[in-house]
Structure 1
Amino acid sequence: MRKHIPLKKFSQNFLIDSSIVKKIVEFINPQLNEILVEIGPGLAALTRPVCNLIDELIVIEIDKYLLERLKKCSFYSKLIIFYQDAVKFNYLKLFNKKDRLIRVFGNLPYHVATSLILNLFKNIKIIKDMNFMLQKEVAERLVALPGSKSYGRLSIIAQYYCNIKILLDVSPKCFRPVPKVDSIFLNLTPYTNFYPYFTHNVKVLSYITNLAFQKRRKILKNSLGKLFSEKVLTTLNINPQERPENISILQYCQLSNYIIENNIYCKSISI
């Protein structure tokens, strides 16, 4: 089979370490009755061993040359292929067709990882879990706690929806071409029975966190001043002098709920 030249526009770094592949497949633990969706099968490093364990795998790939390679693979008959951008893919339509929760996994292209994950959160009720290889910086942002440099809007939204576990640190030498960054494989499992956080409307939470972190060095009384007076912040036990990275997810949920409960109008929010 002709050697595939990685395309920079798709941020292609192919996983080549067989021991890492084995560990990842063990972490995913594919089962016959599950609906599994792989984003970006690439050179099929994960696709092949997963297909050895199940009868059907849905793959989403934007590189038509990689799709042509898949046609020559022995497991091709097990694949349901979508030649699409995974960020724009209709996961709800797939769920409605299969009538089962979806498990999503993949070695995500670094340039779309954040937007892809945020888009998947919009479909969180139809997702059983997500297992992704990510650039270390993105993974650290997902799991970051208040007070750290990595903590921000992505941390808050991700942890609002999911329990997140780092499963594996992966060296650049496990990929071809070798990226300039380390990677992390992690699991995101949506909360089902126990929800540690509550907001009446996650769109409001998203809006507030976006506003707060647009200029993260600003203190809250300045960054959120058009929504909350110093008196209101103090009443909610939130220090107006604090910077956004020092405010907990629970506190951001408090702010979100205050807006809803007090009918504060924000034309920028589509509620």
Structure 2
Amino acid sequence: MSIKNFYKYFPLKQYGQNFLINKNVINDIIKIINPQKHQILVEIGPGLAALTKPICQFLEELIVIEIDVCLVDLLKKYFFCSKIKIFHQDALNFDYKKLYFKKNKLIRVFGNLPYNISTSLILYLFKQIEAIEDMNFMLQKEVAERLVASPGNKSYGRLSIISQYYCKIKILLHITPENFQPIPKVHSVFINLTPHKNFLYFVYDVNILSRITKIAFQNRRKIIRHSLKTLFSEKELIELKINPKFRAENISIIEYCRLSNYLYKKFNNLKKN
């Protein structure tokens, strides 16, 4: 990617586009991703091909998903376009499972994610987690901090719990705004999310876990005896060894899983009766 191409293409706010331009950072990211010839890599939002071009050197084919038709046209003009398979569509609608079944191989997803869809996209990818080997993303620092936060931390919330339920998460690089064009108002980080190979946490139904955490953190300043009173009595919380006077941010992931599994069994018993 060249600065000349950046000025030819004006980034669109509607897609949250901020293009990475620092070659040293790009090289660091490629080392982290460590693409191998036999792997299936999918890039979300290739933009001006800052990562696309160098990663193509390691692969026979790179799959890219780009929503912006102008950038799709630009990608087709690059000399390495014969190595990329372009899907002109929204990454939030892409069928990653279908690609997995077609290739008969787990896929690796990476990209400099637009800030306006990063959280939604990660949650969407969790729904197709069985198709994914790992994910490597550039994210807004604040989002990354929420992903890795532990109980008691001000950033700890529903996103922390759901993300850590599915994946081991590592922050690998901290990247300042001047490494992008246009220069964003926020700092960024590059992270790795690797799905747990063994069940670190277990719930019968992740939708119940999602529901409990949503209710709890909508009222995060309330103690859970009050915020979750429609789901659990104080007696039930005590029986589950969860302090009813704790707030949502003080409850661990394992404890939320315990609540989820209790509620699952409770619902099932009601249905049987």
Please report the TM-score for the alignment, with normalisation by the length of structure 1: 0.96
What corresponds to 2:14 in structure 1?
Answer: 9
- 1:80-125 deviations in Å (ceiling 9; x for gaps): 1000000111111111111110100000000000000000000001
After TM superposition, give the deviation of residue 79 of structure 1 in Å.
0.6
CA distance in 2, matches of 1:3, 1:171: 24
- Matched residue count: 266
Identity percentage of aligned residues: 61
Give deviations 1:157-192, integer Å, cap 9, x for gaps.
Answer: 000010101110000010000000000100000011
CA distance in 2, matches of 1:180, 1:215: 29
Partner of 1:175: 180
- For structure 1, the residue ranges without an aligned partner over 5 or more in a row are none
2:103 to 93, 98, 106: 98
Give, in whole Å, the separation in 1 of the partners of 2:161 and 2:269.
23
In structure 2, the residue matched to 1:146 is: 151
2:86 paired residue number: 81
Structure 1 residue aligned with 2:231: 227
Query: What SS is found at the alignment partner of 2:121?
Result: helix
Give the Cα separation in 1 of the matches to 2:219 and 2:239.
24
* Residues 119-198 of structure 1 mapped to structure 2, 5 A cutoff: 119-192=124-197, 194-198=198-202
**3-state SS in 2 of match to 1:195:** coil
CA offsets 1:234-270 (integer angstroms, 9 cap, x no match) = 1111111111001000000000010122236899xxx
Task: Name structure 2 gaps, 5 residues minimum.
Answer: none
CA distance in 1, matches of 2:145, 2:192: 13
Paired residue secondary structure (2:35): coil
Residue 61 of structure 1: how far off its partner (Å):
0.3
Q: Which has the higher helix share?
A: 2
Mapped partners of 1:215, 1:45: distance in 2: 42
For residues 231-246 of structure 1, the aligned pairs below 5 Å read 231-246=235-250
Amino acid at match of 2:233: S
Matches within 5 A, 1:211-226: 211-226=215-230
Tell me how far 1:217 sits from its aligned partner: 1.1
Read off the aligned partner of 2:235 and give its amino acid letter. Answer: K
After superposition, the C-alpha distances for 1:6-39 in whole angstroms (9 at most, x for unaligned) are 1000000000000000000000000111110000
Q: Match of 1:205, as an amino acid?
A: L
Q: Which amino acid aligns with 1:33?
A: H
Q: What's the offset of the Cα at 1:221?
A: 1.1
> 2: distance between equivalents of 1:71 and 1:259?
52
Q: Any idea what SS the aligned residue of 2:47 has?
A: coil
- Of 99, 109, 114 in structure 2, the residue corresponding to residue 109 of structure 1 is 114
| More moved, 119-128 vs 93-102 | 93-102
- Distance in 2 (alpha carbons) for counterparts of 1:32 and 1:52: 9
What is the DSSP-based 3-state SS (H/G/I as helix, E as strand, rest coil) of the residue aligned with 1:164?
strand
Aligned residue type for 2:107? I
Q: Which amino acid aligns with 1:256?
A: S
Displacement after TM superposition at 1:195 (Å): 2.2
Amino acid at match of 1:107: N
Amino acid at match of 1:242: F
Matched, 1:34 2:36: no
Instruction: Tell me the SS of whatever aligns to 2:79.
Output: coil
Distance 2:173 2:108 in 1: 19
In 1, the alpha carbon distance for the partners of 2:239 and 2:265 equals 15
Q: Structure 1 CA distance, aligned partners of 2:138 and 2:33?
A: 12
One-letter amino acid matched to 1:241: K
Aligned-residue Cα RMSD (Å) equals 1.4
User: Could you say what secondary structure the match of 1:263 adopts?
Assistant: helix
**TM-score computed with the length of structure 2 as normaliser:** 0.95
